[in-house]
Amino acid sequence: MKKNILIFFIIFFIFLQNLFACDPMGCVMSGQNEDALLIVETKKQVNNNIETIILSVYPQTKLKSLKSGQKIFIKNKENKLFENKYYLVSLYKIENNLFEIAWDFFELSSSDYKKAKIINKNKYPEIDIIAWNYFIQSRGGITEFSFNYGEFEDGLTIKNFKVITVKKNKNIIFSKNYFIFIIIFSFSLLFFTLLLLKKSKK
C-alpha cells in the first residue's frame, strides 16, 4: 500500500512540474515549444488553410530559412484567423510551408512591429497586454517582465526599472493553470483519503 501511494505522488508531482513548466506568455517569449514567431499578413482562405505573407521574423524563430516576404500557409479550419489582417503568430511547422498555431496568436493594429498593438484585448488581463505590446514593439527584445496581480490594481515591472500599474474594477483574475492545479489537488487529496480509509478498515 505504501509503495502504491509513493508511486502515485511521484507521478503526480512529475505531472505538476510539466504543467507549470512555462505559461503561454513565457513559452512564446522564450521560444519554447514553437518553431516560429512571426508577424504575418493574412491573404485568402484556401480550403482549411489561410495564405499569409511574413512581415517580420522574431529572434525566437528556430527555422532560419523563414524570411520576410515569404508566403506560408497556416491551418485555419475553424476560421480563427481572418483575411486581410495582421497577426503575431506562434507556430509549429507541419510540412514544407504549412504551419499550425502553437501557443497563441494576436491580431495587430499595424504591419510595422514598431507601431503594432494588440487589438483583441480580451484574451489576457490588461497588464499582460501592456507587456505583450512592449515585447512586440521591441521585436522580441524585451522579455524581462514581473507581474504583481492584486484585487484592485495590477503591477508590471519591465527590465527591473519601469513600473506600470493598472487599476481594476473587477476581482482578481486567476489563470487557467491555477484552476487546473486546484482541481488536481482536490482529486489527489480525495484519492489519498480514500486509500487511508481503505487501509484503516483492513
For the segment 68-79, what is each residue's pLDDT rounded down to a tens digit?
A: 999 999 999 889
Angle between helix axes 2-19 and 176-201 (nearest 10 degrees) is 180
Distance, CA of 118 to CA of 109 (rounded, Å) = 6
Instruction: Summarize pLDDT for 105-123 with one digit per residue, the tens.
Output: 999 999 999 999 999 777 7
Q: Choose from 9-13, 89-93, 155-159, 161-165 the range with maximum mean pLDDT.
A: 89-93
Domain-wise residue ranges, the chain: 2-20+175-201, 24-167
Residue 41 has pLDDT above 90, yes or no: yes
Distance, CA of 74 to CA of 3 (rounded, Å) = 48
Q: How far is CA 10 from the centre of its chain?
A: 27
Q: Which residue has the cell 512555462?
A: 22
- Looking at the DSSP bridge assignments, the partners of residue 71 are 53
pLDDT for position 30: 92
Segment 182-194 mean pLDDT = 73
Which among 83, 85, 76 is positioned nearest to 47, based on CA atoms? 76
pLDDT for position 194: 73
pLDDT for position 24: 84
What confidence tier does 11 reach under pLDDT thresholds 50, 70, 90? low
* Residue 52 in grid coordinates: 499569409
Q: Which residue has the cell 497563441?
A: 104
pLDDT for position 174: 42
pLDDT for position 129: 92
Q: Which residue has the cell 503568430?
A: 89
Q: Which residue has the cell 489561410?
A: 50
pLDDT for position 82: 96
Q: What is the CATH number of domain 24-167?
A: 2.40.50
* Residue 142 in grid coordinates: 524585451
pLDDT for position 20: 46
The residue type at 157: T
Which among 124, 154, 167, 150 is positioned nearest to 28, based on CA atoms? 124
Q: Choose from 14-18, 30-34, 194-198 the range with maximum mean pLDDT.
A: 30-34
